[in-house]
């Protein structure tokens, strides 16, 4: 098969021409130069994920339309046979990967309703202040329409409260990737479960290893995590 960048480039050019759009007009919509558009279309420059989602918005297509159709990888029994040959730890890795892919598919932001309008599925609300969590039935998430860019994410929730203002405001929709304490880094914004309560906070890990959950709104006190606390990082907020 031909080089993937060249294939994607030819799809960009075909979609542009089918809409009677000049390279200059496409460059204007993308916020790039005419030369950059030419390099995308020839495959001399690889269009990254952000560019492809912008193009999908402009052309009102799915991002999958830029790629070749995949061939069959066999029937379900073929996959089961391969899975059963794996050792338990590798079976667990396969299960975790496929579960993660299914979550991302459910929340895929290529479900577009036009330029800069997307369908997003909400899985409840998380408190910025009191620790309250309002769950949503995972089999029946709330479907909403949002405008603007939507990042790739594992789940989306609504913020309740003002303790993380001005960065996160009351009723704002936030996008989260699943994570645990082994993956999170200092000063990231996280969804944390502490003794059965849920918070969106900034994580602070001090030099001695002690952990705090920091509020941006200074009328709220920071939360010190102790060894006896039941503390779990449920996700990393995408900024």
Q: Can you give the residue ranges of every domain in the chain?
A: 4-66, 76-106, 112-237
Q: What is the CATH number of domain 112-237?
A: 2.10.109.10
Q: How many CB atoms lie within 10 A of CB 115?
A: 13
Q: What angle do CA 109, 113, 115 make, to 5 degrees?
A: 90
Average pLDDT, the chain: 81
State the average pLDDT over residues 54-74: 77
- Alpha-carbon span 133 to 11, nearest angstrom: 44
Tokens representing residue 50 in the block: 């952000």
Number of Cα atoms under 13 Å in the Cβ half of residue 178: 11
Q: With bands split at pLDDT 50, 70 and 90, how would you rate the model's confidence at 1? A: very low
Tokens representing residue 74 in the block: 């066999």
Q: Count how many residues are written for the chain.
A: 239
Which pTM does this prediction carry? 0.52
Fold of 4-66: 434 Repressor (Amino-terminal Domain) (1.10.260)
């Amino acid at each position: 098969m031909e080089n993937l960048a060249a294939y994607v480039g030819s799809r960009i050019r075909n979609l542009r021409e089918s809409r009677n759009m000049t390279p200059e007009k496409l460059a204007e919509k993308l916020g790039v130069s005419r030369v950059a558009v030419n390099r995308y279309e020839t495959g001399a420059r690889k269009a990254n994920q952000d560019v492809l989602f912008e193009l999908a918005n402009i052309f009102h297509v799915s991002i999958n339309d830029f790629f070749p159709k995949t061939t069959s990888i066999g029937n379900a029994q073929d996959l089961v046979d391969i899975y059963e040959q794996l050792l338990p730890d590798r079976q667990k890795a396969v299960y975790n990967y496929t579960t993660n892919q299914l979550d991302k598919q459910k929340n895929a932001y290529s479900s577009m309703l036009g330029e800069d309008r997307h369908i997003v599925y909400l899985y409840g609300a998380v408190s910025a202040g009191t620790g309250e969590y309002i769950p949503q039935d995972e089999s029946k998430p709330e479907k909403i329409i949002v405008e603007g860019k939507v990042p790739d994410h594992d789940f989306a929730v609504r913020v309740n409260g003002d303790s993380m203002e001005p960065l996160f405001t009351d009723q704002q929709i936030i996008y989260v990737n699943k994570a645990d304490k082994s993956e999170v880094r200092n000063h990231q914004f996280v969804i944390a479960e502490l003794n059965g309560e849920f918070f969106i906070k900034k994580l602070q890990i001090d030099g001695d290893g002690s952990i705090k959950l920091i509020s941006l709104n200074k009328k709220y006190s920071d939360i010190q995590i102790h060894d006896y606390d039941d503390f779990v990082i449920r996700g990393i907020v995408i900024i």
